[in-house]
Amino acid sequence: MNRAQLIRLVSHRHHIPHRTAESLVKAVFAEILQALGMKDTVTISGFGSFAPRFKDTCTRRNPQTGEPVLVGPRWAVKFKAGRKLKASLA
């Protein structure tokens, strides 16, 4: 499912106009992005949590040439699935 499909589904299931559903979905994602940008953890009960994580410098390999490539320090997002999400996949 992509973002457009999610918006269409929210609109249909909750009987709200498409533009309203689009605004709601965009607002939720914007708030999650803003919180992660401030290095806060976002926890959605039953779904999971998004946490910013600092990754140190490491060496990777270029798959085309096999040459080692130095990847600098950076921030990444770690996602941990919640209990209900894990149960829905079983």
CB 79 within 8 Å of CB 42: no
The three state secondary structure string of 29-62 is HHHHHHHHHCCCCEEECCCEEEEEEEECCEEEEC
Interval 50-82: pLDDT, tens:
999 999 999 999 999 999 999 999 999 999 999
Q: Which helix (H) or strand (E) holds 10?
A: helix 3-13
CB 18 within 8 Å of CB 8: yes
Q: Is the pLDDT of residue 90 over 90?
A: no
Question: Full-prediction pTM beyond 0.85?
Answer: no
Q: Is the pLDDT of residue 2 over 90?
A: yes
